[in-house]
Structure 1
Amino acid sequence: MEHQEILNRVDHTILTTTATWEQVKAVCDEGLAYSTASVCIPPRYVKKAADYVGNRLKICTVIGFPNGYSTPEVKVFETEDAIRNGADEIDMVINLGQAKSGDWEGVLSEIKAVKASCKGRILKVIVEACQLTQEEKVAACRVVSMSGADFIKTSTGFSTGGATVEDVKLFKEHISPDIGVKAAGGIRTFEQAQAMIEAGADRIGASALVALARQEG
């Protein structure tokens, strides 16, 4: 697979707690230069970034990030705020405590509420696969399939593990056919990204791939 084909599927990401506007602006410039699917940035910078790129690049941001344990009302407010500020795509973290206790109805209700707040924008649901058992991962696929969301996403990149080929294959097998899979967390080479795509990933969350492409000239 050509590297540009991979970059076209990448949410070019900067979510470090210390991210400055200059760094976010640089990520936007790189996203434009390398035609990435979007840039995924902290909520604080969404309005500035949306004004900066205009309609030339999709702006993605995160909700309930990275722990997922905000109330549904807070996640809905965060989503509405992000949309008002110009976000095109929303990556939300589920309530992992509810998932671990088997309260999948609660997880589903929250995702549906956030999806309604997206007003037609793309919603990706982060299930933090490294924290779930195989059975819980399958249950998460079922719930996301029922929720109206657009993608299931493996990881925040802030927990104990990131995307794995095995998890991507599992998600692809159990998620509804109309829902995409986003692999994120620890993907630092084009070879890793291609392995994820071959396993079934439709999107890649990564911060390192554009820099590699630039080195290649």
Structure 2
Amino acid sequence: MGTEQVMYTVGSDLVMVDDIPFPPHISKTKQLSLLGHGLTDIEIHYLQIKFTAIGVYLEPEIVEHLQQWKGKAAKELAEDDNFFEALISAPVEKFLRIVVIKEIKGSQYGVQLESAVRDRLAADDKYEEEEELALEKVVEFFQSCYLKKDSVITVFFPSNSSTAEIGLTTEGKDESKITVENANVVEMMKKWYLGGTSAVSPTTISSLANSLSVELSTNDY
């Protein structure tokens, strides 16, 4: 399990997502830029409730791996799942910062994540005992916590690695972490958060498409 700390850039240029501030850059082993942000919602008693604000941090070098989409409009990118497949598979660090808006039991979040990943694995005929055990570990991680407003979930995907590190910070407690080491589960976690038209947050996908369309048009590689 990685022990490096996430460093947040503090300044006046914070990006506000539904009144929640996101720093424009964070550092893991490299400095990553906030290239997409949005909201997730959840249905509670037939009402759609804002659930989390999400920020997607990527190495700026991500555009090197997306050159075939240079010149494409943001709307076109947002609807192109092949574009997001390329983004997911690009060997760059990816970091998600997810801030809770509507408090919820950790077990509910864990089950939501488990269900989404399991369905994707089953559809690709990749759901075996190893994947089931890895998902159970994730559910157990969230089981005992209560996600109050402003709790922070982080998901870090290192470059050239088939692991994911999930972090959780809740009020008054030190950050707890878990490492997911099953490559199939990690792949489907990436698809749940970043997988184009099937991702959990359409607003985040639209934001990523907008940012990357601009980056691709202004950078030459």
Normalising by structure 2, we get a TM-score of 0.31
More strand by proportion, 1 or 2?
Answer: 2
Higher Cα radius of gyration? 2
Which structure has more RCO (C-alpha within 8 Å, separation ≥ 6)?
2
Normalising by structure 1, we get a TM-score of 0.31
